[in-house]
Amino acid sequence: MRSMISILKCVVLAAFAGALAASAAAQSNVMKLSTATINDVQHEWMKRFAADVEKNSKGRIKPEIYPASQLGAIPRQIEGTQFGSIQAWIGPPEFLAGVDSRYELLSAPGLFKDSAHASRTMQDPEFKAAFLALGADKGLKGVSVFLYGPLMVVARTPIRKLADFEGLKIRVLAGAMQMNQMRRLKGTPVPMSLGEVLPAVQQGALDGSMSALPVFTAFRYWDAAKYIYESNHGMVTSITVVSKIWFDKLPPDLQKVVTDAAEKATKDNAQWTIEFLGIQRDRWLKAGGEIIVPTQADHAQLMKLMLPIGAEVTAKKPQEKAMYELLLKAAKRTE
């Protein structure tokens, strides 16, 4: 009888332990963070954010970081975030233009005096709140927007004057803002997902790519295209959107952990980003790449071509125009 009772106790205890383990597992929320790049501003933001979320949630949220398109091409990453199989995507907001065309507004050239001004503008409370709310009805909750780096062009052959752009096939982000920039230079804009760009440059299908320096250094573009035209005519930015399906199921205290961690990572990453951009410039030069700085006359001509684009693109849609005007006011306030 005693032996039977002991066996029953063991069975009950085992069942209880199993129930506790199952309950703990249910309370642990996996958070997959996905981006297309690696060893750059976005990757650093993810690491800071993930560490803060895990710490302040006391392990109830388990962040997993997936850089370098490990979870698929950018469109698949975005779809996964909308449907909840991925919990957060980090990347240029222009890739969300199919969700809402207003996401491409930060591509408008000539808005910012420098990187620091761009960072201040994106953190303007009125603009940031409106911009991060854009995807709410499409399954996306914006939690952060931040600077990635100044726009420039990498090319297989040197671009030493604006006329050298004519006829070149240059990868741009999808959307009228960047497409029109390359058309103004009489080049051919080619929207393409990041993972496909370097092979296309290597094979000669593309003559170059318009992006920011950290992309070119992270993927060692100097082996295929060693010339950078440092145009600095606009900014590449990044946005973090989390799956609204996933976020809405979190209890309020964990929702706050996520949003607070996003704000902290953005603030902490700002100065690091400025310093990182300088390091990447040195890295490009040490690797044998060349950086071509336009003459004052060429840069003035470039900006004359670029500045009207933002107003022209947004004039076609009232909602875009309203958001663009909000951005212009934020840029003025933060000069």
List, for residues 140-189, the tens digit of each pLDDT value: 999 999 999 999 999 999 999 999 999 999 999 988 999 999 999 999 99
**Residue 30 in contact with residue 62, Cβ under 8 Å?**
yes
Q: What is the pLDDT of residue 316?
A: 87
Q: What is the pLDDT of residues 77-118, one digit of tens each?
A: 999 999 999 999 999 999 999 999 999 999 999 999 999 999
23 pLDDT more than 50: no
How many other C-beta atoms lie within 10 A of the C-beta of residue 178?
27
Cβ-Cβ contacts under 8 Å for 130 (sequence gap 6 or more): 323, 326
SS (H, E, C) 24-44: HHHHCEEEEEEECCCCCHHHH
Ordered by where they begin, the domains of the chain are 26-333 (3.40.190.170)
Average pLDDT, the chain: 92
Q: Using pLDDT thresholds of 50, 70 and 90, give the confidence band for residue 17.
A: very low
Give the separation between CA 69 and CA 47, rounded to whole angstroms.
Answer: 16
- Taking the model in full, what pTM does it have? 0.89
41 pLDDT more than 60: yes
Q: Which residues pair with 241 in a beta bridge?
A: 89, 142
Backbone angles phi, psi at 143, to 5 degrees: -125, -10
22 pLDDT more than 50: no
Distance of CA 86 to the CA centre of its chain: 15
Backbone angles phi, psi at 128, to 5 degrees: -60, -45
Cβ-Cβ contacts under 8 Å for 194 (sequence gap 6 or more): 36, 37, 69, 74, 215
Comparing 17 with 270, the larger pLDDT belongs to 270
* Token duo for residue 309: 């684009």
Following CA atoms 282, 287, 288, 289 in sequence, which dihedral angle do they give, to the nearest 10 degrees? -60
Q: What is the pLDDT of residue 25?
A: 37
Q: What is the pLDDT of residue 12?
A: 36
* Token duo for residue 138: 């499409």
Largest Cα span, the chain: 98
Q: What is the pLDDT of residue 200?
A: 98
Q: DSSP letter at 85?
A: S
Strands 169-172 and 140-150, by their bridges, are: unpaired
Query: Treating both helix axes as pointing N-terminal to C-terminal, what angle do 296-306 and 176-184 enclose, rounded to 10 degrees?
Result: 130
**Residue 231 in contact with residue 10, Cβ under 8 Å?**
no
73 pLDDT more than 80: yes
Q: Which has the closest alpha carbon to 266: 130, 124, 133, 140?
A: 124
Q: What is the pLDDT of residue 18?
A: 41
φ/ψ bin of 69: left (φ > 0), alpha (ψ from -120 to 50), beta (otherwise): left
Comparing 229 with 14, the larger pLDDT belongs to 229
Determine the average pLDDT of the residues in 50-54: 98
Q: Using pLDDT thresholds of 50, 70 and 90, give the confidence band for residue 15.
A: very low
6 pLDDT more than 90: no
Backbone angles phi, psi at 116, to 5 degrees: -65, -40
